[in-house]
Amino acid sequence: MAFFPLNLKAIWTILKGDEVKFKVTPKTSEQRTYLNLVIPQMIMIGINFLGIAWYIGKITLGYDYDLMGFIVAAFWSLLNTNSLMVIVRAALWSNNEEAE
């Protein structure tokens, strides 16, 4: 799930009939972060937390709610967030050993 933007891009490339191109990655590390590459993952994380907050707001305002439904939905939202955070943490990672 964490790679959904790349999977969609790959499928779209194939459906358009474009040639599949592979970029060679550099063998040296860079001391920068790549947050611009994980914007879709961060948006999904925000949507997950927004959904949980929305439902908690409905509960506190006294609306009818299904507690088991909320628990299951919150569990899946947190599980999805955890899998998406792997990609976000990788984008933030830097090799501090080489900087010293």
What does the domain layout of the chain look like in residue ranges?
4-16+34-93
Which stretches of the chain score pLDDT less than 70? 1-2, 29-31, 95-100
Residue-wise burial string across 21-60, b where 16 or more C-beta atoms lie within 10 A, e elsewhere? eeeeeeeeeeeeeeeeebebbeebbeebeeebeebeeeee
Write the pLDDT tens digit of every residue in 69-93. 999 999 999 999 999 999 999 888 8
- Entry pTM: 0.69
